[in-house]
């Protein structure tokens, strides 16, 4: 089985917000509704705010291209105190 990874930003810029939302709304994760909620409700918002970069993983299932997963990367500043 082959997998493809596409940047949500690239998709958003290529097909616009409404079509991107339509595609994301097709994603289901019955074992973890928080995972589903993020991709449907927060991923585009976080993209616009520069909080995270989301990447979609897709594959072919029954001759259809479907999202099978995703991952998001975010920057977080970590301060390390110098110990004397």
Assess if CATH 3.30.240 describes domain 4-74. Answer: yes
Tens of pLDDT along 34-80?
999 999 999 999 999 999 999 999 999 888 889 999 999 988 777 77
**Which residues, in sequence order, are CB contacts of 2 under 8 Å at separation 6+?**
59, 60
Angle of CA points 81, 83, 84, to nearest 5°: 145
Tell me the C-alpha distance between 81 and 84, whole Å: 10
- H/E stretch holding 73 reads strand 64-74
pLDDT at 76: 75
The domain segmentation of the chain, as residue ranges, is 4-74
């Amino acid at each position: 089985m082959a997998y493809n990874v596409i940047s949500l930003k690239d998709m958003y810029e290529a097909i616009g917000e409404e079509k991107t939302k339509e595609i994301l709304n097709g994603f289901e994760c019955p074992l973890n509704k928080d995972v589903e909620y993020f991709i449907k409700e927060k991923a585009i918002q976080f993209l616009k705010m520069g909080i995270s970069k989301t990447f979609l993983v897709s594959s072919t299932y029954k001759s259809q291209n479907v999202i099978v997963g995703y991952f998001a990367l975010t920057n977080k500043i970590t301060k390390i105190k110098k110990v004397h």
